[in-house]
Structure 1
Amino acid sequence: MNRVLVDNGNSGDILYCPAFQQMGIGWEQLVPTNAPLVGFGGTRVFPLGVVTLAVTVGDYRQQITKNVAFLVVDCSSTYNAIIRRPTLNLWKAITSTYHLMIKFPTNYGVGELRGDQVAVHKCYIAMMEMDGHLQAMSIEEHRIATELVERLEDVPLDNSRPERTTKIGTFANLMVSQALATFLKENRVVFAWSHEDMPGIDLPVIVHRLNVSPSFLLVRQKKRVFAQERDIDRW
């Protein structure tokens, strides 16, 4: 099959409906799924189903055959299918976007797939002329929003350090809440707000060491700029 996009970023293999129909696969082989795909524009596309196909890559004898579960999608695309990260991991494949090549181990040496520069250019031009949100999609993660069963209240553990608090529920009666607060205050030594509050941890447990030969000189890398929300003190 030609015009297969190799995408290292996302986690779902996609087979577009026109290619699915031309392969003569019966609709009864589709397994229903409720995981929508989300494009760049935020548009959701619900797959028609999942079909598992045996995919052979490489040339005889340096080839492998693996079963791949494809999400069948009914929308426009310049590609027939998209192969993504889990399948590449299954193949133990190494990809090179610069060389348009994939290499993978087989029982008879290293197999390889080579892309066509002309075909890639044509697909890219056609893709730019289409709606961008239909071209690159990822599986939407199902997030279950949970609500608190009961309201929580802050309990100060150290009167000299008002910022050191914990939370307890409010459903318990007053006597139980007071007993629980007293118990937590008496055992506040088990709480830790910084690394200095954990002096008893064995160093081999918390210290990360690189297995580097001492014969090599150390090299200082240039400073990296992080997004503001991640630009915190690092140690």
Structure 2
Amino acid sequence: MYEHCFELLPGVVRAKLIAPSTALSGFFGESTWPIGIIELELELVDDDNKELIRSTTVEFVVVRSYSKYYALLGSTTLQKLAAIPSTVHGLIKFLTPFGIATIRSEMQDASSNTDIFAWKEEDMTGVPREIAEHKLNANLSLMHVGQKKLGMTPERSEWLKAEVEKLVKANILREVRYQMWVANPVLVKKPDGSWRICVDFTDINKACPKDNYPLPEID
């Protein structure tokens, strides 16, 4: 349960909050302590006749984080409700004494953040240099390496040319004349059969000094 939802609860209900006993771990291993844990009765009511169709006790972990949602139901709660969720259709179905009940979400709200994703090359406008800029720290005293051109089948060559033209048109790549470093593109097949463009940066990696401590200690 998100904090903004917890604050909407009556004071006598919020008083049931207990201290957490363990931290929460994120997808990338980061840890954060929740505000607390609260046990509430979750009731599902029919909007038409205001009749209670299902209820169960749920232990919510209250977290301080921004979200458009009020709370997230975990697999344990869904099992208690014998519910089947579908993120594609934005709904949950479960059996009741009156038949199959359906909870529908606001699909417009759920998809309102689609504009932050790049769906085609033209959408990737780049990050302003005053915010972030990456530069290779290559040792310029070393001899520049120009890899010999690797041959490709006509099919791969045409596909690669079309993809590069898309990136050039979107101002992601630009043509450079009189190149000092030359690296071959390598096509790697994805599980779905399409291609992924990679680049063989072996030679320029050798010219870049190594960072012996790229990350803090794991502790």
Q: TM-score, normalised by structure 1?
A: 0.43
Greater RCO between the two (CA within 8 Å, min separation 6)?
Answer: 1
